Chains A and B, each alone.
Chain A
Amino acid sequence: GIQVEQSPPDLILQEGANSTLRCNFSDSVNNLQWFHQNPWGQLINLFYIPSGTKQNGRLSATTVATERYSLLYISSSQTTDSGVYFCAVEDISYNTDKLIFGTGTRLQVFP
């Protein structure tokens, strides 16, 4: 099955810093989403981005489907950005809405 790797696995930042999170996937995908899992476990949709670039406030994401990677940019980080960031993909060969999650990046932002 499709493999989804994220880097870095852990990231520690001071408030105000910028960061880039990477998601690599091993095969073509129908769908790619970025999620933030807060300390209570809730998954929050950040972006639906199978290709191209999107921005939402301090966050933006870019997916280069032909090269099988996606990037999530966080600018001017805040302590509330802490948590785990997951990318998840839908394997193009199945078309079932079934999402396979990446390994995650654990972000800690300190004041």
Chain B
Amino acid sequence: GAVVSQHPSRVICKSGTSVKIECRSLDFQATTMFWYRQFPKQSLMLMATSNEGSKATYEQGVEKDKFLINHASLTLSTLTVTSAHPEDSSFYICSAAARTGGEKLFFGSGTQLSVL
């Protein structure tokens, strides 16, 4: 199946710093990628849709100035958590759409962000 690589897998940072998370589709091109956030023992909540070459589309309640998304190429989307605070600590997961048979969306392995 299609492979999505997400990096880093874990990051610990001080409050007020910015953190960048990368999501790469390794063996296919993805015009659209998605960013999810998951708090402990909860479901995945869609944050935004990342579109190659255009602005991201954010879900209601997600601050676009805090969660900066850049989709500069057909294989790379980045999520930057700006001025991180402890309440931003969460598990962040990206996904990308691949037109391979029936399975449409493939997910990265996630990034555990801990803000001290």
A positions within 8 Å CB-CB of B? 31, 33, 35, 40-43, 45, 48, 86, 88, 90, 96-104, 106
Decide: A43 and B104 in contact? CB cutoff 8 A.
no
Q: Complex: how many Å from CA A99 to CA B35?
A: 11
B107 sits at the interface (CB 8 A): yes
**Which of chain B's residues 21-54 have a Cβ closer than 8 Å to chain A?**
32, 34, 36, 38, 41-46, 49
State the Cβ distance, B42 to closest chain A Cβ, in Å: 8
Give every chain B residue within 8 A of A33 (Cβ-Cβ): 103-105
Q: Is the interface of A mostly helix, strand, loop or mixed?
A: strand
Decide: A41 and B93 in contact? CB cutoff 8 A.
yes
Q: Is the interface of B mostly helix, strand, loop or mixed?
A: strand
Decide: A97 and B43 in contact? CB cutoff 8 A.
no
Cβ contacts B91-116/A at 8 Å (1 or 0 each) = 10101010001111111011010000
Contacts A98-B46, A102-B43; A45 near B93 (Cβ below 8 A): no
Partner of B32, one of A41, A43, A97: A97
Give every chain A residue within 8 A of B42 (Cβ-Cβ): 104
State the Cβ distance, A46 to closest chain B Cβ, in Å: 10
Decide: B110 and A41 in contact? CB cutoff 8 A.
yes
Give every chain B residue within 8 A of A106 (Cβ-Cβ): 41
Give 3 closest A-B pairs by Cβ, nearest first: A48-B102, A43-B107, A41-B110
Q: Given known contacts A45-B103, A97-B34, A97-B105, what 17 new A-B pairs fall within 8 Å (CB)?
A: A33-B105, A35-B107, A40-B109, A41-B38, A41-B93, A43-B107, A43-B110, A45-B1, A48-B102, A86-B43, A90-B104, A97-B97, A98-B46, A98-B49, A101-B45, A101-B46, A103-B43
Give every chain B residue within 8 A of A103 (Cβ-Cβ): 43
The 15 sampled A-B contact pairs (Cβ below 8 Å) are A33-B103, A41-B38, A41-B112, A42-B107, A43-B93, A45-B106, A48-B103, A48-B104, A88-B44, A88-B105, A97-B34, A97-B97, A98-B34, A99-B105, A100-B46
